Structure 1
Amino acid sequence: MEIADLLKLNALVLWAAFAVAVVFGFIAQRTHFCTMGAISDIVNMGDWTRMRMWGMAVGIAMIGFYGMAWLGWIDPNQSIYTGNRVIWLSATLGGLLFGFGMVLASGCGSKTLVRIGAGSLKSLVVFFVMGFAAFATLRGVTAVLRVNTVDKVSFEMASGSALPAWLASLTGMEPTLTGLVFALVVGGALVVWALVGQDFRNANNLLAGIGLGLVVIAMWWVSGRLGFVAEHPETLEAVYLGSNTGRMEALTFTAPMAFTLDWIIFFSDTSKALTFGIVTVAGMVVGALVCALLEGSFRWEGFRSTQDTALHLTGAVCMGVGGVTALGCTVGQGMSGLSTLSLTSIIAVTGIVLGAIGGFRFQIWLLDRE
């Protein structure tokens, strides 16, 4: 492959990622899909409907991910979620911090982008603060603290942290077939659980569950299949085009917010190129904006009070620091990561849920205090 062909393919990968992110943003705005909202519905009303949306989406994404691996389209070991090192403490504490922060900030990173598209100025503020905190935790002062403390606590899994790979190493089964069977059992159970829910089977809920599950699958295909070049013409090494991590990527929004700010600030620096994460951030906002305009729900929104401002700023910092520490957010670990059946992702999502419950308890305490 010549350099000119490589550049054309790179542009195609980025446009494809942007288009898929637009679909995600549109569906999320249309269906009110929100992981924090799902947890809130359960805690406050005992309503599992939005959690069933999430469960169906994750289940479909699992089946699609390992289906593509079985077909040989993607390599399940080439993602940040399935590495040999399980940073369980970082995943736990980062997840707790992210979950607590998303409650204070009225939504996770993906919801923040969707709300920006729908006219929320306070979500725009959350985006800048969260992106700044994420960048500091990637390369700045909190990065030094993270690397020298929690990231040092881990254990190794020789087969990788994906549960199917671990099971294959124990049983001697073929890894991709094991992954497909594992995904069909676990993912299928999640889909069935969603469908048996009372009043779940309507167009809106099915659009969220099926549509977003397919979006995650599409992102893995774009990055891991379309964007994979076995031999770069200059380095002669395998490369995933548009990747920030050098590996196959899907949707995640904490670190990409930092990359987006970095690209905007240093736009004239020719070394700063558009990447997979940056275009998906933009795509989310555009998709939500299109949906909000079409359905007439676009509304300008600002902070209600000084306390509201303080809570959102605090929540944004917690999400930026926690999301990078945990290697992902409710979409990064909660959908993309879980689709790989990664042990690290399971730990991180557990931390996010517990952190969110703590955030709700804190809000109740604030109301009682007032």
Structure 2
Amino acid sequence: MNVQDTLIWSGLVIGLIFGATGQLSGFCLNRALKEYWQSGALHKAQSFVLALCVAVIGTQALAQFEFIDLSKSIYRGPTFSWLLVPIGGVLFGYGMMLANGCGARTLVLCAQGNLRSLVVLLCLGISAFMTLTGVLGPVRQSLNQMTAVSGGSISDIPVAFQSWLLGALLLCLLVFSFWKLNLLRHKKDLFAGFTVGLLIVAGWFSTGWLAFDEFEPVNLVSLTFIAPIGETIQYAMIATGMKLSFGVTAVLGVLLGSFLLAWLRKGLHLQGFSSPKEMLRYIAGGVSMGVGGSLALGCSIGQGLTGLSTLALSSVVAAAGILIGARLGFHQTA
């Protein structure tokens, strides 16, 4: 296959598996945080952290054996905005709570007939492109330039400390994931954690090695859902002027994978809004996620897993902002 075919099929397959996994397990940072804050249940959060652990191990292994060059990813850029990245993270986390799910979870729910999620997706995708390349783009670019600071990652510290620090990080993640062996009693969440982590690695491998062509270079990316949702909406409108990308086919794959599993399990049900007030809340959540995710360079998957797997400082800042925003949104919706 040529580069374009590789991107299309790898994105579709990875998206299919992610969608089916999300439909089966309910994998979502929003749900994990809500369950813990409401009842103290930890297994969803442990599943998410396990996915992060697997993603870090696999991604760093690919980089170590030179299958991919993480310096070419958006997360390991030379600079990031000390202002926009944390603010974007807070906005995304807040919107995630208002909309009752992140971008990835919203795709999964939409595929099973949740019309609330359809509204959120439209608001998220449009507001994301408004922020990236639309009317808000010049403002974002100006602020980004004015507040840029040097980026960084674990690879920037002395070599003697790199292995020790990475080992300590992975040990902490594993201890949390299997604390009191709680996750072993929730097989679906255990499966989801391993699977999603491996899909992050598969995304890096697909775009960084399988589709590598020095004469036709492609962006080094993995799973993320803010810009790709907007790009998918754009592709639906002007397909003749665009090429299918890894992100678009991954989004389509998530929808298809979730739909197929919901259909097989007889879980397809139309759901709508209970009131105009609820609709406004979901619209606000979608817009907040679209704008916030664009400023933070990713979502709970794009920064919380994919970005953190590169060990980039900007991803740590964005992930912290998402958690803070989610906590604020939880109080607002509780």
What TM-score results when the alignment is normalised by the length of structure 2? 0.95
1:63 offset after TM fit, Å?
0.4
Q: How many Å separate the matches in 1 of 2:166 and 2:85?
A: 22
Q: How many Å separate the matches in 1 of 2:170 and 2:31?
A: 22
Match among 253, 258, 268 for residue 283 of structure 1: 253
Q: Aligned-pair RMSD on alpha carbons?
A: 1.7
1:182 offset after TM fit, Å?
4.6
Identity %: 32
Q: How many Å separate the matches in 2 of 1:150 and 1:357?
A: 26
Secondary structure of residue in 2 paired with 1:252: coil
Q: How many Å separate the matches in 1 of 2:162 and 2:196?
A: 21
What amino acid is the match of 2:258? A
Match among 291, 295, 310 for residue 325 of structure 1: 295
Q: How many Å separate the matches in 2 of 1:48 and 1:188?
A: 18
Unaligned ranges ≥5, structure 1:
233-238, 241-246, 365-370
Match among 95, 98, 105 for residue 104 of structure 1: 98
Match among 115, 118, 125 for residue 112 of structure 2: 118
1:250 offset after TM fit, Å?
0.4
Match among 256, 260, 270 for residue 232 of structure 2: 260
Matches of residues 309-320 of structure 1 in structure 2 within 5 Å?
309-320=279-290
**Quick check: 1:131–1:257 contact (8 Å CA) kept in 2?**
yes
Aligned counterpart, 1:367? none
Alignment partner of 1:250 is 2:222: yes
Q: How many Å separate the matches in 1 of 2:106 and 2:43?
A: 21
For residues 326-368 of structure 1, what are the alpha-carbon distances to aligned partners after superposition, in whole Å with 9 as ceiling and x for unaligned?
000000001100111111011101111110111111123xxxx
Secondary structure of residue in 2 paired with 1:267: helix
Match among 198, 210, 214 for residue 230 of structure 1: 214
Unaligned ranges ≥5, structure 2:
none
What amino acid is the match of 2:189? N
Aligned counterpart, 2:195? 211
Match among 171, 174, 177 for residue 191 of structure 1: 174
Aligned counterpart, 2:156? 166
* Structure with greater helix share of residues: 2
For residues 283-312 of structure 1, what are the alpha-carbon distances to aligned partners after superposition, in whole Å with 9 as ceiling and x for unaligned?
111111112112222211111111110000
Alignment partner of 1:90 is 2:80: no
Aligned counterpart, 2:265? 295
Alignment partner of 1:201 is 2:195: no
What amino acid is the match of 2:91? L
Aligned counterpart, 2:122? 128
Q: How many Å separate the matches in 1 of 2:64 and 2:148?
A: 29
**Quick check: 1:104–1:359 contact (8 Å CA) kept in 2?**
yes
Secondary structure of residue in 1 paired with 2:71: coil
Aligned counterpart, 1:352? 322
**Quick check: 2:80–2:144 contact (8 Å CA) kept in 1?**
no
**Quick check: 2:7–2:245 contact (8 Å CA) kept in 1?**
no
Q: How many Å separate the matches in 2 of 1:205 and 1:196?
A: 14
Closer, same or farther: CA 188–226 of 1 in aligned 2, 3 Å: farther
Structure showing greater radius of gyration is 1
What TM-score results when the alignment is normalised by the length of structure 1? 0.86
Closer, same or farther: CA 182–323 of 1 in aligned 2, 3 Å: same
For residues 134-159 of structure 1, what are the alpha-carbon distances to aligned partners after superposition, in whole Å with 9 as ceiling and x for unaligned?
110011122222222355212114xx
**Quick check: 1:114–1:285 contact (8 Å CA) kept in 2?**
yes
What amino acid is the match of 2:294? V
1:198 offset after TM fit, Å?
4.6
What amino acid is the match of 2:293? G
Match among 10, 13, 23 for residue 4 of structure 2: 10
